[in-house]
């Protein structure tokens, strides 16, 4: 009879945060969070301040779809060795360094442009930043899952969220402050320099231990079957076929084999969990500006104060998961992340009301901190260690794709119906996530067992 897991005490839950792999995720989380706003809401604020029409800004949010289709090139990041970089730094660290170089290059190029006169070039370099950022996310997620056992993943997710919010703080409030004191060009150059935080972290931390590509391929039944069936064929063709099966086919078949028909419902849940807040996010900064709030006020309330609340939510989420497990906190996260979007509808109706702005930002960021932490831990528990980069990229891509796609129409809906109606409809999109989270919380097969007490 297997031993019964014992729930962690609060002391044991807190002690997990002192482990080196957990602390590392603070800095890698910062590196992951930094580029996101710079091609999303901070970019939308720059474009709006420069006189770009709100409908065009809404379509710019489609740049974020790159984050949602990263599973297309995740097998390459998972299995393809980079010349020099992989041999010197390892598979995960080498790809992170390449991605960080793309991010810094794109941000520096954006700093040299005037949006009104070069809108297509702005879009092109924003795409480069987003592609580099999405690629970095693939490598960081695999690095995180491979660097620690399952019972530490909630803490890893929590510190990653804290670091991620720190990156958002720099790219949001930091960029807005620099833009108000100097210019948007100086702001984006400063952000390019901050990419160095991730570079230094990659250089000082070790590559996680994992099986070699050759060993992984040998242990995959579908690869062995292909190699037996292709005897006598040219060796390069056999190697390419074995690589393609191991990198592309096996990660998907593994997930459906483990979860069977439940796999489809899990994918639906992943797709709708963040749909509400992602669908509304592209119109948040335009709302603040159109209500008459200054850039300094937006920076103070929505970024500095708001991200502090989000960090608090991330810490709270990590502790709650460590204490009570993923199931009940998954339901809580889905509910609060969805329902707090109604606060933005109230803000739109209240007008230039600073207390209402503070209330909306506090509720939204605290809820998203809890929801993000528990959801990352949940997705990590679904991911097979044999296919970390590819499977997690599939999950995280699916998590953002529906919301990102719908957010592109946000400007058109706001122009036609107004901000209040838009945020109410965005809230309604999240209701299925609450129902599915409740179903998952009641199915023991879909959730990892509670962590054992440290001894």
| Dist CA 283 CA 54 (whole Å) | 9
Contacts of 68 (CB under 8 A, 6+ apart): 397, 398, 399, 400, 401, 404, 405
| Dist CA 1 CA 4 (whole Å) | 9
- Evaluate if residue 386 carries a pLDDT over 70: yes
Cα 260 from chain centre: 26
Does CATH place domain 17-446 in 2.30.130.40? Answer: no
Task: Find out whether 369 and 317 touch, Cβ atoms under 8 Å.
Answer: yes
Comparing 146-150, 171-175, 241-245, 395-399, which segment has the lowest mean pLDDT?
A: 241-245
pLDDT value, residue 219: 60
**Alpha-helical segments (H) within 230-283:** 235-244, 250-259, 262-273, 275-281
pLDDT value, residue 35: 94
Tokens linked to 333: 């996260």
Tokens linked to 368: 């998203």
| Dist CA 74 CA 160 (whole Å) | 20
Count other C-beta atoms under 10 Å from residue 53's C-beta: 12
DSSP 72: G
Q: What is the pLDDT of residues 308-334, one digit of tens each?
A: 888 888 888 888 887 788 888 999 999
Q: Which position has the higher pLDDT, 412 or 142? A: 142
| Dist CA 412 CA 47 (whole Å) | 16
pLDDT confidence tier of residue 373, bands split at 50, 70 and 90:
confident
pLDDT confidence tier of residue 454, bands split at 50, 70 and 90:
very low
pLDDT value, residue 303: 66
- Evaluate if residue 256 carries a pLDDT over 80: yes
End-to-end CA distance of the chain: 20
- Average pLDDT in the 370-377 region? 87
Degrees (nearest 5) of the Cα angle 178, 299, 61? 90
pLDDT confidence tier of residue 227, bands split at 50, 70 and 90:
low
- Evaluate if residue 31 carries a pLDDT over 80: yes
pLDDT value, residue 215: 56
Degrees (nearest 5) of the Cα angle 374, 377, 378? 85
Task: Find out whether 298 and 288 touch, Cβ atoms under 8 Å.
Answer: yes
Instruction: Report in angstroms the alpha-carbon separations of 56 from 124, 171, 190, 196, 334.
Output: 15, 22, 26, 32, 31
Domain residue ranges of the chain, discontinuous segments joined by +: 17-446
- Taking all residues of the chain, what is their mean pLDDT, rounded to a whole number? 83
pLDDT value, residue 434: 93
- Average pLDDT in the 251-258 region? 83
pLDDT value, residue 218: 56
The top-scoring range by mean pLDDT among 41-55, 92-106, 406-420, 424-438 is 92-106
| Dist CA 213 CA 132 (whole Å) | 24
Percent of the residues in the chain that have a pLDDT greater than 70, as a whole number: 89
Q: Which position has the higher pLDDT, 195 or 239? A: 195
């Amino acid at each position: 009879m297997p031993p019964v897991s014992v729930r962690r005490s609060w002391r044991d839950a807190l002690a997990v945060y002192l482990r080196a792999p957990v602390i590392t995720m603070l800095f890698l989380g910062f590196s992951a969070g930094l580029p996101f706003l710079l091609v999303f809401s901070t970019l939308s604020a720059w474009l709006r301040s420069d006189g770009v029409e709100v409908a065009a800004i809404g379509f710019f949010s489609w740049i974020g779809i790159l984050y949602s289709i990263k599973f297309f090139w995740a097998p390459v990041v998972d299995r393809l060795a980079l010349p020099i970089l992989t041999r010197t730094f390892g598979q995960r660290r080498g790809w992170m360094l390449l991605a960080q170089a793309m991010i810094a290059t794109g941000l520096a190029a954006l700093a040299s442009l005037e949006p009104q006169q070069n809108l297509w070039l702005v879009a092109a370099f924003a795409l480069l930043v987003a592609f580099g950022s999405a690629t970095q996310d693939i490598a960081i997620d695999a690095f995180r899952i491979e660097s620690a056992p399952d019972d530490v993943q909630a803490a890893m997710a929590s510190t990653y969220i804290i670091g991620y919010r720190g990156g958002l703080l720099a790219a949001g409030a930091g960029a807005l402050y620099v833009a108000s004191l100097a210019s948007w060009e100086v702001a984006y150059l400063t952000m390019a320099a901050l990419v160095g935080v991730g570079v230094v972290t990659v250089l000082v931390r070790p590559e996680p231990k994992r099986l070699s590509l050759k060993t992984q391929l040998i242990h995959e039944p579908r690869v062995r079957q292909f190699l037996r069936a292709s005897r006598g064929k040219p060796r390069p063709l056999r190697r390419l076929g074995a690589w393609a099966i191991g990198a592309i086919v096996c990660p998907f078949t593994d997930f459906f084999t483990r979860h069977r028909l439940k796999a489809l419902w899990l994918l639906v849940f992943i797709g709708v969990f963040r749909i509400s807040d992602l669908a509304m996010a592209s119109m948040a900064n335009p709302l603040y500006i159109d209500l008459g709030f200054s850039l300094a006020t937006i920076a103070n309330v929505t970024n500095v104060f708001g991200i502090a609340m989000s960090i608090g939510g991330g810490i709270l989420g990590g502790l709650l998961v460590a204490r009570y497990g993923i199931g009940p906190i998954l339901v809580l996260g889905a509910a609060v992340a969805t329902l707090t979007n109604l606060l933005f509808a109230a803000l739109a109706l209240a007008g230039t009301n600073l207390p209402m702005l503070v209330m909306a930002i506090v509720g939204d960021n605290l809820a998203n901190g809890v929801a993000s932490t528990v959801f990352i831990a949940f997705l990590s528990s679904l991911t097979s260690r044999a296919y970390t980069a590819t499977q997690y990229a599939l999950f995280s891509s699916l998590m953002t794709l529906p919301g990102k796609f719908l957010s592109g129409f946000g400007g058109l809906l706001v122009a036609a119906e107004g901000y209040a109606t838009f945020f109410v409809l965005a809230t309604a999109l999240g209701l299925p996530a609450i129902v599915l989270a409740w179903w998952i919380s009641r199915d023991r097969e879909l959730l990892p067992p509670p962590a054992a007490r440290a001894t």
